[in-house]
Amino acid sequence: MKLISKLHLSALLCTAALTVMQSAYAAENTGFPAIVADDFKYVATTPSRWEPADWQNLGWATLAVAGTAIVADRPVRDFMRQQPKGDSFLNTVENFGTTYAVGVIGAFYLAGAASGNEKPVRVAQDAFSASLIAATLNQTLKISLSRSRPRDNQGIKDFQGYIGLNNNSSLPSGHTTEAFTLAAVIASHYEETWVPYMAYSVAGLVGVARMYHDAHFASDVAASAFIGTFVGKSIVNHNRTLRTDKVALLPLLGPDFTGVQLVGHF
């Protein structure tokens, strides 16, 4: 599918989802479209709030990706090319980075709306918002770096830089970024220990599937895992604050006094 077609499809899906979610939650003080807009601003300005430890973590993540490129890109690709093709399991699990991810988000929303449980609905909202942000960041890096895919046989060092609108870049992996974004959102909302194991295992298998299909190097998958996890966790933490830090001034009347009271959730 051409990039323009993908953008049109994404726009339609986004519009439909925003319409549904805005209608369902129009009574909230913070409407969902406003949350999405605030999420974009929050992630874009995150580096300005980083402490030295955060910059250090970014440095370690960058070194991990670079180290993976040096140590693992060639041998992992050679290993994957030796595997029999047509693995039905990997062909299926790969969809959790695309169509199945949309289905999972929709399932959480419908389950929450049908049962009146806020948590699944908030998972869907956070996953939707985080997916948009992660996809934007992912596409920006693809266009900026333009790394050749493994199947192009140009080697692991072929970075062309900006060459115009280009969706065929290897770094990062869109499928893997989406899978880890969704996994991070789900894992951040549930305290059960099996949830993150399950979520991140599926996300990791999406990355394996992309390498198996010779679409990405191991370092592409590693970078995508960092991006998706960072965006997913950041959005959940930020939106939790938006939803709970709501205050209001209410009139307080009594026989001998008149005043106001501050109420809210902290």
pLDDT digits over 111-167, tens only? 999 988 899 999 999 999 999 999 999 999 999 998 999 999 998 998 888 887 777
Answer for the pair 219, 65: CB distance below 8 angstroms, yes or no: yes
pLDDT at position 169 is 87
Structure tokens at 258: 């008149």
**Residue 264, H or E segment:** strand 258-265
CA–CA distance, 113 with 124 (Å, rounded to integer)? 11
Answer for the pair 97, 175: CB distance below 8 angstroms, yes or no: yes
pLDDT digits over 224-238, tens only? 999 999 999 999 999
Residue that is written with structure tokens 């499809």 in the block: 9
Q: What is the mean pLDDT of the chain?
A: 83
Give the residue with greater pLDDT, 34 vs 193. Answer: 193
Q: Is the pLDDT of residue 23 over 70?
A: no
- Strand-pairing partners, residue 250, are 261
pLDDT at position 62 is 95
Give the residue with greater pLDDT, 120 vs 29. Answer: 120
pLDDT digits over 190-207, tens only? 989 999 999 999 999 999
Provide φ and ψ at 82, rounded to 5°.
-85, -10
Residue that is written with structure tokens 């990039």 in the block: 3
Please compute the mean of the pLDDT values over residues 49-78 and round it to a whole number.
Answer: 95
Which CATH class for the 3-243 domain? mainly alpha
Closest-CA residue to 202 (of 233, 169, 228, 220): 228
Sequence spans of domains, the chain: 3-243
pLDDT at position 56 is 95
Please tell me the pTM assigned to this model.
0.81
Q: Which of 23-32, 48-57, 59-68 has the lowest mean pLDDT?
A: 23-32
Q: What whole-number percentage of the chain has pLDDT above 90?
A: 65
Residue that is written with structure tokens 């990791």 in the block: 204
Q: How far is C-alpha 29 from the geometric centre of its chain's CA atoms?
A: 25
Give the residue with greater pLDDT, 188 vs 25. Answer: 188
Q: How far is C-alpha 100 from the geometric centre of its chain's CA atoms?
A: 14
Residues 6+ apart with CB under 8 A from 226: 61, 64, 65
Mode of pairing for the β-strands spanning 258-265 and 246-253: antiparallel
Three-point CA angle 102, 103, 107, nearest 5°: 120
Answer for the pair 33, 18: CB distance below 8 angstroms, yes or no: yes
